[in-house]
Amino acid sequence: MVKPFITVFILIVTTGFSASKSMAVETWKQAPSPLTTRWSKDVSPETARPEYPRPNAVRKEWQNLNGMWEFAFDDNTEGTAAGWSNGHAFPDKILVPWTFEASLSGIGKGKEIHEHIWYRRHFRIPSRWKSKRVLLHFGAVDWQSSVFVNGKLQGSHRGGYTPFTYDITDSLSKSEEQEIVVQVFDPADPKKGAYQPKGKQLGSEGIWYTRTTGIWQTVWLEPVNDTHISDFKLEPDLKTGKINIRAKIAQAEAGLELQAEISGPGLYNPIKFITQDGAGEDYLLTCTVPGASAWSPEHPSLYDIILTVRNAAGVQDQVKAYTAFRSIGLENNRITLNGSPYFLKGVLDQGFWPDGIYTPPTDEAIRNDVAVTKAFGFNLARKHVKVEDPRWYYWCDRLGLLVAQDMPSSHNLQSVEAKDNFVHEWSEVMDAVRAHPCVALWVTFNENWGDPKEFQERVVDLTRISDSTRPIIDASGWDQRSHTDITDIHDYSNELSKHANANPARTTWVGEYGGVALPIPEHTWITGWGYQTVRTPDALLDKYKFLTDQLNGALGISGFVYTQLTDVEQELNGLMTYDRLPKAPPQKFAAINAGPAAKKRIAKR
């Protein structure tokens, strides 16, 4: 018999930037949880997600605002910003960036519903920032937030999965201590009008899991000069080896210089490119990398880029980024990577944690999920109805793991407002993750959740206009329509070979299959279920091989996605337990994924 197996992957620190805190550490204790991960012990108010939160656009100086915040439920919805500022009693404390539902927040009320909540935190601005503009960044807040600094409204944001920023300079007080107040509204029940994309956040039962309400990614401050890069896009082209750098520069002026320094595979020394040609705030710099190396899961070749803005007074801004040369396409009804047929071996990854719910406990935990996925022999993760922490995409880029990116599902798309909001949030999601070379496919809907009907086609068309470089799956499983690029099949039966077709009418993959449960005593959240159940690790390996061999050898199939990477709450069909214990040695699954059937299929092409 194969015993449950655990592998520990070591995190290599790749950035030397550090964060500082301006708030005294207060008493904190992790709330009780049915299950926790081995990384919980590394969490404290002093170490609450200390890594730089935006890995593909790094500035040297920043201040982390994670840690202890004041917190209050507002179930009567009678509060105002003024009422919650300056001396109002906040009865609770919360460890940000974990939500009140998560045990790592210190509150851990995962079964309770509170649609209206408030946060407050005091902070200080370093004296060296006095002549700078100060930006306040939120990684993600679920769902609608209003942010006040020293009682002044900075703005409101709708969208639970994407970052947003406010320039708070003009609201800063002359006194040392500053105040942030955040108001959050997150309606819970689609049957009572809640239309926002929620994914699996419908309560812990069946296929639904614990909700996430409020701040769930890093909050941080960043100083910039008046003249700074306000936005940029990197557009690499594998065929030509060119990178178009499109930058917006605030307070641009005549004679301003934008410089790019590129280093990476095949470059013995960094190469520099400079432009002084700007149209207002818009700058275009085209760079050519000789002998550009292609990125793939087998060879995740990345190029580091330092963007520098100079004027007569010297360097005004510097941002470190990275990119890769790779292409995803469809040819002869096959998926291609970098111009060649490429079989996608994927796993469903829902991104839930027993101690953090939506928020991973540490960066090492994030890296471990990606590394173990690769160790299982997968080259792709389908990020299922969730948009992940930016550090997850970073590790997929660095370690080499393709991503099929789902849009989190709305469960109520009947009104015009709901549809317009869905389009708005999806556009923000694409903007947030499109720069990552790991992202290979867009998945706009899951099955027929929300009952989108013809709205599905509108979203696909808008997606294609926004990004023509990635194939689009209009709906993973069930109700697909004519505008999709890929036919996506969900099949949890044992008869998968029936989907083979030597000449499919459209590129085809099996977007969900498997779902084989193996409960591991003392490593389950609660008594649960799977689409089918086995009792031993050996039986799980046998069933996985039986199912996967049917797809690995199937003509006309371009890939598969096994359900799923980890158990999630009451769903026990993971290859790992919810607390990240592999149920059998990952290398045994990897051997199945790379089995003789796969080699035979490749030889026939």
Q: What is the DSSP string of 124-150?
A: E--GGGTTSEEEEEES-EESEEEEEET
> What pLDDT, on the 0 to 100 scale, is given for residue 78?
54
> What pLDDT, on the 0 to 100 scale, is given for residue 588?
98
Encoding tokens for residue 4?
């449950």
Q: Does domain 328-604 have CATH number 3.40.630.30?
A: no
Given CA atoms 451, 453, 458, 462 in this order, what sign does their dihedral have? positive
Residue intervals of the chain classified under CATH 3.20.20.80 are 328-604
452 phi and psi angles, rounded to 5 deg: -75, -30
Residue intervals of the chain classified under CATH 2.60.120.260 are 40-224
Architecture of domain 40-224: Sandwich (2.60)
Q: Cα separation of 240 and 263, whole Å?
A: 17
Residues lower than pLDDT 50 in the chain: 1-25, 598, 601-605
Q: Cα separation of 332 and 416, whole Å?
A: 38
> What pLDDT, on the 0 to 100 scale, is given for residue 322?
98
The residue ranges of DSSP E strands in 168-275, in sequence order, are 177-185, 214-215, 219-224, 228-237, 242-250, 257-263, 271-275
Within 10 Å of residue 133's Cβ, how many Cβ atoms? 18
> What pLDDT, on the 0 to 100 scale, is given for residue 121?
97
Encoding tokens for residue 365?
């935990």
pLDDT in tens, 345-354: 999 999 999 9
> What pLDDT, on the 0 to 100 scale, is given for residue 80?
55
Q: Which of 75, 271, 88 has its CA nearest to residue 188?
A: 75
> What pLDDT, on the 0 to 100 scale, is given for residue 583?
98
Q: Which of 350, 356, 355, 406 has its CA nearest to residue 200?
A: 350
How much is the pTM? 0.94
Q: Cα separation of 473 and 189, whole Å?
A: 27
Task: Judge whether 181 and 168 are in contact, CB under 8 Å.
Answer: no
> What pLDDT, on the 0 to 100 scale, is given for residue 402?
99
